[in-house]
Structure 1
Amino acid sequence: MTLSLRDHISVLSGSDAVVLVSVAAIKGSTPREVGAFMLITSGKIAGTIGGGNLEHQVTLQVRSMLESDVANMPVARIKRFPLGPGLGQCCGGSVEVGFHLLSDGDRADLRTVLADIVACPVSQSGRWVMLPVDGGQGRTELVGADTTNATMLASGFGTARGGIMAINGLDMLCLRLDEALTPMWIFGAGHVGKAIVQAMAPLPFDVHLVDSRDAYLDLPESEKLHIIQSDRPELEVSDIASGAHVLILTHNHALDFDICRAAIMRDDLGFVGMIGSQTKRARFIRRLSDRGLGAAEISRLTCPIGIQGITGKQPVVIAASVAAQLLSVREAQMAQNQTTKTASDGVG
């Protein structure tokens, strides 16, 4: 099983028939949400609808259909799977699974949309792909989670059976993408900074690694890792995107203070964390207060960083703890953003 969008693109680029399997509707406790999807061919799988026996049985059914007679396969169908009695999974709910045999046009359109996302991946909220149903004439398109239609989808409103919505008079299949990336700036490319970069590599973050010391910036850049050498790292704070997370891990306490002060003076960042002890925190709070910062600004600082109860000081242990903390913060913020948007749209 593969989860990267690059693997989805690879499957869509092949010559084998492709069945798109999606979570069309849910009831009770289920492993994935409406819109989760996977691609299945006779020899490849990309994506997931929750794993376990549900995914195993779905894959067997698709491959059985592909081996029998692709030409006579229905273009689309919906099947209900009870998770408890039917599949022996402990979730206890039920899932309606949509099976869509993709036309050549659907495959090309979906591949183009996913390639565009890979080329420009940064987004601070979830996104949806709308795919025409049954080879219709509609255009496959990307929809941001801050739009009304996507808000309705995520909230469970306005979605017809089968995860299909009527948009501008066309029936569109709604697919949820989970590769929305949260921008993260790490100040300090020492042992801990590099360990955090490595821990974040498979996670949904777009990382900027900043250091004044060019010799320490020896990690290879990638689509999700951007290397920035700056003689004045604290000045880079003004360029950080709204909603981004900031980690302060430099080799110099005075530099830590300058970056920290610049970051918490902004009220639009998602998380500002600094490595250090309770003693360091107390000293910084006192100095920040002496510089005229109030309780609201100072409360934006998290120090020490990491999950409580994890006390190991090895860089890889700190990195694992911080990664878990930032994932928790990210999911809470995305849930809050969705709730706020839903309320403002009058949905619910």
Structure 2
Amino acid sequence: MNYWLSALADLQNQGLPCVLVTIIEEQGSTPRNAGSKMVISATGTFDTIGGGHLEYKATQIARDMLAGGQQGTRLERFSLGASLGQCCGGATVLLFEPMGQVQAQIAVFGAGHVGRALVPLLASLPCRVRWIDSREQEFPALIPEGVRKIVSEEPLEEIDHLPVGCYCVVMTHNHPLDLELTAALLKRNDFAYFGLIGSKTKRVKFEHRLRERGFDNAALQRMRCPMGLAEVKGKLPAEIAISIAGEIIATYNANFGQHDASVEPIAKLLPASRRSQATN
């Protein structure tokens, strides 16, 4: 196996983004081989496209792409002359392909029917998932790659460990716990997305109780309940999970690169949900 290929597999298994760089065209009498590849991460380089100043410039470009969260491929043409410290003429065209860029850090509270349908969908996306529940027996035997199972007797305490800009989904089996989790998330108020499973009736009840605790309309508007895309109908766990995953995808696409609390509230990005949801 080529060194770059094994390095790419290792980085993807660790959930670390990188850029695959390929020489796709050689012009002139340069010593490089078309098709040569290297992998560049934020902290390392793996394999080579021939070394020298060209490789140095390629590493700079790749790390700029990683720092900016760029997802699209990029072509760059380098004239091999004085600008690259080369003594010979010609040119090299490089293809830059971002790999494994994480779009969202997601916390799912609840391992019930909808949670078990939702988490594998999220795991198949460019996301990292914390899956939290107090009931170990509710988790499946096989946890998808990219998902961290957290069994906690006090799920509320896990909110303190969430990163800024986290996508939060609350769907536990316990309405009082849902309320406490909601209050804690709104108090932190640094999430990129917060969805609460339930009907419009549940939202009205929660809003009343949260206002009694001092939360204003601006804070309550950041709560998506019912959550999920209204266009996806149905009350089966898989149908609800698909609608929630669709809403998360729409949110991180709309807010691409903005992994903080300054993103637009989901209510401004998506139409209001018109359907009820089964509780988990």
Give TM-score scaled by structure 2 length: 0.68
Give the drift of 1:222. Answer: 4.0
Q: Is the 8 A contact 2:170 2:181 kept in 1?
A: yes
Tell me: higher relative CO, structure 1 or 2? Use CA pairs within 8 A at least 6 residues apart: 2
Partner of 1:303: 225
In structure 2, distance between residues paired with 1:272 and 1:144 = 30
Among 52, 67, 72, the residue aligned to 1:147? 67
More displaced stretch, 174-183 vs 258-267: 174-183
Partner of 1:256: 178
Among 77, 97, 112, the residue aligned to 1:176? 97
Among 100, 109, 120, the residue aligned to 2:14? 120
Superposed, 1:287-326 pairs within 5 Å as 287-326=209-248
Distance 1:243 1:215, change over 3 A: same
Partner of 2:5: 111
Give TM-score scaled by structure 1 length: 0.56
In structure 1, distance between residues paired with 2:138 and 2:201 = 28
Structure 1 residue matching 2:188: 3-state secondary structure: coil
Q: Does the alignment pair 1:214 with 2:136?
A: yes
Structure 2 residue matching 1:265: 3-state secondary structure: helix
Distance 1:179 1:154, change over 3 A: closer
Q: Is the 8 A contact 1:129 1:143 kept in 2?
A: no
Structure 1 residue matching 2:11: 3-state secondary structure: helix
Give the drift of 1:318. Answer: 0.4
In structure 2, distance between residues paired with 1:174 and 1:267 = 40
Structure 2 residue matching 1:221: 3-state secondary structure: coil
Give the drift of 1:195. Answer: 0.7
In structure 2, distance between residues paired with 1:287 and 1:306 = 23
Q: Does the alignment pair 1:228 with 2:122?
A: no
Q: Is the 8 A contact 1:217 1:229 kept in 2?
A: no
Task: Show structure 2 runs of 5+ residues with no match.
Answer: 25-31, 33-48, 87-91, 263-280
Structure 2 residue matching 1:206: 3-state secondary structure: strand
Give the drift of 1:187. Answer: 0.5
Structure 2 residue matching 1:334: 3-state secondary structure: coil
Partner of 2:50: 136
Distance 1:274 1:176, change over 3 A: same
In structure 2, distance between residues paired with 1:212 and 1:118 = 29
Q: Is the 8 A contact 2:73 2:98 kept in 1?
A: no
Q: Does the alignment pair 1:334 with 2:228?
A: no
Q: Is the 8 A contact 2:73 2:95 kept in 1?
A: no
Superposed, 1:266-305 pairs within 5 Å as 266-305=188-227
Q: Is the 8 A contact 1:128 1:174 kept in 2?
A: no
In structure 2, distance between residues paired with 1:313 and 1:168 = 60
Q: Is the 8 A contact 1:189 1:211 kept in 2?
A: yes
Superposed, 1:3-152 pairs within 5 Å as 13=1, 107-108=2-3, 110-111=4-5, 113-121=7-15, 128-130=19-21, 134=32, 135-137=49-51, 138=55, 143=63, 145=65, 147=67
Distance 1:203 1:154, change over 3 A: closer
Distance 1:297 1:113, change over 3 A: farther
Structure 2 residue matching 1:308: 3-state secondary structure: coil
In structure 2, distance between residues paired with 1:242 and 1:322 = 21
Distance 1:147 1:314, change over 3 A: closer
Partner of 1:237: 159
Structure 1 residue matching 2:190: 3-state secondary structure: coil
